Chain A
Amino acid sequence: AASGDGGDAAKDVVNVVTPAQPSTLDPQISTESIMGEITGSIYETLVVTDENLVPQPMLAESFERSDDGLEYTFVLREGVKFHDGSELTASDVVDSMNRWTRVSIAADGAFDGSEWTEVDDYTVKLTVPTASFLHLLYLSDIGTSYPAIMPSEVIEEFGDEPVQDIVGTGPYTLKEWDADQRIVIEKWDDYQSVDAPSSGRAGAKDAVLNEVVFSFVPDAATRTMGMQSGQYDVTPELPFDGLTQFQEDPNLVLGTYTIGPINLVYSDRAGGPFENVVNRQAVNTALDRDPIMLASVGSEELYDLVHHNMTEPQQAIWDTEVGKAEFNAADTAAAKALLAEGGYAGEPVTLLVTRDYTEAYNAAVVVAEQLKGIGVDVKLEALEWASYFDKYKEGRDEWDLTIIPQGTVTDPTQTVGFLPNRAGYYDTPELHDLLARFRAAPTQDDATLIFDEMQQYIETYRPLTRLGDAHNVYAASKDLELPVFNSHFVWWNASWK
């Protein structure tokens, strides 16, 4: 019945179709966005953002930041129950948060040296070595590897390995996980809602839908046709070309949301042409981004070009003028001159890419053509994802360029150019220094100032060239009321019209 026709009889079930199942539903570890999509209504965190991206309490009744920014106190709501029936107490929170600090990528860096302690049954305290604006940002961000609260017993059982018992406090519980087929979440009747109006992810959660069924259908054409035929009600991602195809479909409501930047990353392997920054700049100068992005996502409506290192929605916070003037020069003559200056003598260059991400692959094909235009002897190497990733991570000497899509991130330190252990391996003391300063910025405004500097670092060292930001097309049945917040559906506010 789960994969029925959307059903007139049971208008309290929604069929969602997505390409692949998450490898784990552990919210603290997994970095897959589909995990966030599914567990977002199962797990809850201490704080969440409202529609203005301002942190609001969720499992905490209230929270407080000390003036020096080194101590946070969270008072928990009483009477909140886990799905297994046990009651949420401070020890659960402390165990969960300490585990999150250890296992989560997001916490890496920003929460180094921080510590969670239990004050009493309903109060916990976070102490951090340096004040930073990042702390609240991360605690309230729900996407991937987020600080979900789970019972201590579960943590005890699974330690730092991905948890298999999915027990949270949210309005939905995991009902069924049929491996590679579907995950069903079901409304949880004992949910204790916050007594505040719903806004963003904050406030009251009065679930209407009884069940949300996530079906995993690997083939894009099948997903699209399933949407068209009404077999599925919602999909978080249509193939890019679906936008033009379905704009006229009267049964569907389409929307887009940013999935993140597509970056061209350079390997500075010794002896390679891009060890020399001039050559990196040459490539950056040469690229004409519009055709690249057009090929990548198929439509002008589905990409934006952003000159700095954050995605377009965050522009309000992270805007900077640095690099704007030189962005998207598409100047082949200048590029050729730079290449000559950089001493590039026509040696073959490998552009590594995976076909599992069409947007990256499609961009790569055009990039390769453009690079050929300035005399770079590019060889495209397209691998399936696992091999690609292995090579990208471990075989840095075997490629010169790679194009890799990235999800949206909470702050600049998460973007490829600022990850010392990733990508092009630009692990310099200067970068570490920058990162440390940035993380120690007590407020957003301080951070924004440093962001100029960081952006300048990118411009100078050019570890990556940003191609553009891709948007996903999501589609939903027109009969469905389905709010989207921060690239995620808000299931507890969804209902059939």
Chain B
Amino acid sequence: MLRFIFRRLLSLLPVLFVVSVVIFSLIHLTPGDPARAILGQNATNEQVAALRESMGLDRPLVEQYLGWVGGVLTGDFGDSYFLRKSVTEAIGDNAVPTIQLAVIAIIVAIVLSVPFGTLAARFRGGRLDRSVMGFTLIGMTVPSFVLALALMVVFGLMLRWLPISGYVNPFEDFAGGIRTLIMPGIALGAITAALITRTTRAAVLDVLNADYIDAARSRGVAEGRLLFSHTLKNASLPVLTIIGLSLGGLVTGAAVTETIFNIPGLGQLLVTSIARRDYPVIQGVILFVTLIYLLTNLLIDLLYGIVDPRVRVGKA
């Protein structure tokens, strides 16, 4: 077990290395110039060239890469061009709201979708199933920005219950923080919830007709327990996977929602950094996100073995 985890953790290194190379090349492949972004559209070429030189952007790519990787290995991810702080700080600051948001969204999603997905599968074709499926259909197809705007109009403008945008850290001001996180949490959670609900339903349908369910029923196990404990565990591999993926996706995929609700999260940071070619931040954030993906997926892989004893990931 420990050896497996250790091996997996070791295997993160080559992945991070490859990702860093890919990201570095991708970034430098894209047109656009941070120096020009800093100086604005009226800057002369000489000014831009001078700034590029002082930022080290005129050096050969390999040299720039090695310099960056060298820094990363010593824990120095460089400084942002625009944020007046180091990349580590920037990620640290922006990860907090993102993670809070992701956690809220994923909790909302799980709490809603796993039970509803399971019930929908159980009563397949029935009224409950159809309405749940209808909702998930909307959750899946309505773009998150539309949902976000609709929420804003209703709760921010018409009812005036919640602030339109902005972010307050709930650890500093709990009520205020929660108020700012509710709408983005719902907007983000909705699409995730739709996906998890559908996946749960599909996975539960796969096992619902198994004989062991009938057998457990014959022993008088209550339908609810039968569904939520017996069936669900058999169906949980895909469900766990989709939850893991969504969690990872929420960290980056939240960009649209974060932008709309103006939450200073990683997604927004990444998007704005890409727009203004803030190389160190882009690289740092992507490495961070890669790490998150790798770790959640490692966790999920471990959970597979716990949930389904027949599955042994990473063994021949």
| Contact flag (A, B; Cβ within 8 A) | yes
**A interface list, Cβ under 8 A from B:** 3, 5, 20-21, 23-24, 29-32, 103, 105, 108, 144-145, 160-162, 164, 177, 179-181, 215-219, 221-222, 225-226, 228-229, 231, 356, 384-387, 389-391, 393, 421
From the candidates A179, A215, A421, name the one contacting B90 in the complex (CB within 8 A).
A179
Q: A222-B261, A229-B157 are in contact. Are A105 and B32 (CB under 8 A)?
A: no
Q: A160-B50, A393-B36 are in contact. Are A222 and B262 (CB under 8 A)?
A: yes
Interface segment out of the listed B62-70, B162-170, B197-205, B288-296 = B162-170
**B166→A231 contact, CB < 8 A:** yes
0/1 interface trace, chain B 240-277, chain A, CB 8 Å (1 if under):
00000000000000000001111010001100100111
**B157→A390 contact, CB < 8 A:** no
Q: A105-B43, A222-B152, A231-B164 are in contact. Are A390 and B262 (CB under 8 A)?
A: no
Q: Does B218 contact A (CB under 8 A)?
A: no
Per the 8 Å Cβ criterion, residues 295-314 of B in contact with A are none
Q: Does B30 contact A (CB under 8 A)?
A: yes
A-B contact pairs, 11 of them (CB 8 A): A23-B38, A108-B44, A164-B84, A215-B166, A217-B262, A218-B268, A219-B262, A221-B152, A222-B261, A225-B156, A225-B164
**A386→B42 contact, CB < 8 A:** no
Q: Which residues of A contact B168 (CB under 8 A)?
A: 3
**B36→A389 contact, CB < 8 A:** yes
Minimum Cβ distance to chain B for residue A100 (Å): 13
The 3 tightest CB contacts between A and B, nearest first, are A386-B32, A31-B40, A179-B83
Q: Does B45 contact A (CB under 8 A)?
A: yes
**A180→B165 contact, CB < 8 A:** no
**A180→B83 contact, CB < 8 A:** yes
Q: Does B149 contact A (CB under 8 A)?
A: yes
**A229→B160 contact, CB < 8 A:** yes
From the candidates A29, A108, A180, A216, name the one contacting B39 in the complex (CB within 8 A).
A29
Cα(A30)–Cα(B168), bound, Å: 31
Cα(A387)–Cα(B51), bound, Å: 19
Minimum Cβ distance to chain B for residue A411 (Å): 14
Q: Does B153 contact A (CB under 8 A)?
A: yes
Q: Which residues of A contact B33 (CB under 8 A)?
A: 386, 390
**A179→B38 contact, CB < 8 A:** no
**A179→B262 contact, CB < 8 A:** no
Q: Which residues of B contact A160 (CB under 8 A)?
A: 50
Interface of B is mostly: loop
Q: Does B11 contact A (CB under 8 A)?
A: no
Cα(A29)–Cα(B38), bound, Å: 10
Cα(A154)–Cα(B207), bound, Å: 71
The residue in chain A whose Cβ has the minimal distance to the Cβ of B168 is A3
Q: Which residues of A contact B42 (CB under 8 A)?
A: 31, 105, 144-145
Minimum Cβ distance to chain A for residue B182 (Å): 15
Q: Which residues of A contact B157 (CB under 8 A)?
A: 225, 228-229
Cα(A31)–Cα(B165), bound, Å: 28
**A386→B259 contact, CB < 8 A:** no
Q: Which residues of B contact A386 (CB under 8 A)?
A: 30-33, 36-37, 275-277
Minimum Cβ distance to chain A for residue B59 (Å): 18
Q: Does B41 contact A (CB under 8 A)?
A: yes
**B84→A177 contact, CB < 8 A:** yes
Q: A23-B37, A389-B36 are in contact. Are A161 and B51 (CB under 8 A)?
A: yes
Q: Which residues of B contact A164 (CB under 8 A)?
A: 84
**B84→A179 contact, CB < 8 A:** yes
Cα(A32)–Cα(B40), bound, Å: 7
Minimum Cβ distance to chain A for residue B48 (Å): 9
From the candidates B45, B47, B153, B156, name the one contacting A103 in the complex (CB within 8 A).
B47
**B interface list, Cβ under 8 A from A:** 30-33, 36-45, 47, 50-51, 54, 80, 82-85, 90, 149, 152-153, 156-157, 160, 163-166, 168, 259-262, 264, 268-269, 272, 275-277
Minimum Cβ distance to chain A for residue B26 (Å): 13
Cα(A391)–Cα(B33), bound, Å: 11
Minimum Cβ distance to chain A for residue B88 (Å): 14
Cα(A216)–Cα(B164), bound, Å: 14
Minimum Cβ distance to chain A for residue B180 (Å): 9
Minimum Cβ distance to chain A for residue B50 (Å): 7
From the candidates B31, B40, B41, B83, name the one contacting A387 in the complex (CB within 8 A).
B31
Minimum Cβ distance to chain A for residue B56 (Å): 13
Cα(A391)–Cα(B31), bound, Å: 8
**B272→A180 contact, CB < 8 A:** yes
**B149→A221 contact, CB < 8 A:** yes
Q: Which residues of B contact A144 (CB under 8 A)?
A: 40, 42
Cα(A181)–Cα(B149), bound, Å: 20
Minimum Cβ distance to chain B for residue A421 (Å): 7
The residue in chain A whose Cβ has the minimal distance to the Cβ of B156 is A229
Q: Which residues of A contact B82 (CB under 8 A)?
A: 21, 23, 179
Q: Which residues of A contact B165 (CB under 8 A)?
A: 217, 219, 222, 225-226, 231
Q: A217-B165, A225-B156 are in contact. Are A384 and B275 (CB under 8 A)?
A: yes
**B259→A219 contact, CB < 8 A:** yes
**A31→B160 contact, CB < 8 A:** no
**B40→A23 contact, CB < 8 A:** yes
The residue in chain B whose Cβ has the minimal distance to the Cβ of A356 is B275
The residue in chain B whose Cβ has the minimal distance to the Cβ of A3 is B166
**B32→A387 contact, CB < 8 A:** yes
**Apart from A23-B37, A164-B84, 4 more pairs, CB < 8 Å:** A144-B42, A179-B85, A218-B262, A225-B157
The residue in chain A whose Cβ has the minimal distance to the Cβ of B166 is A3
Q: A222-B260, A385-B275, A387-B31 are in contact. Are A30 and B164 (CB under 8 A)?
A: no
Q: Which residues of B contact A23 (CB under 8 A)?
A: 37-38, 40, 82, 276
Minimum Cβ distance to chain A for residue B77 (Å): 16
Cα(A226)–Cα(B259), bound, Å: 14
Minimum Cβ distance to chain B for residue A389 (Å): 6
Q: Which residues of A contact B43 (CB under 8 A)?
A: 31, 105
Q: Which residues of A contact B31 (CB under 8 A)?
A: 386-387, 390-391
Cα(A217)–Cα(B276), bound, Å: 16
**Of listed B33, B42, B260, B277, residue having the most chain A CB within 10 A:** B42
**B272→A218 contact, CB < 8 A:** yes
Q: A108-B44, A218-B272, A390-B32 are in contact. Are A24 and B38 (CB under 8 A)?
A: yes
**A390→B44 contact, CB < 8 A:** no
From the candidates A20, A181, A229, name the one contacting B264 in the complex (CB within 8 A).
A181
Q: Which residues of B contact A421 (CB under 8 A)?
A: 44-45
Cα(A30)–Cα(B47), bound, Å: 12
From the candidates B32, B152, B166, name the one contacting A389 in the complex (CB within 8 A).
B32
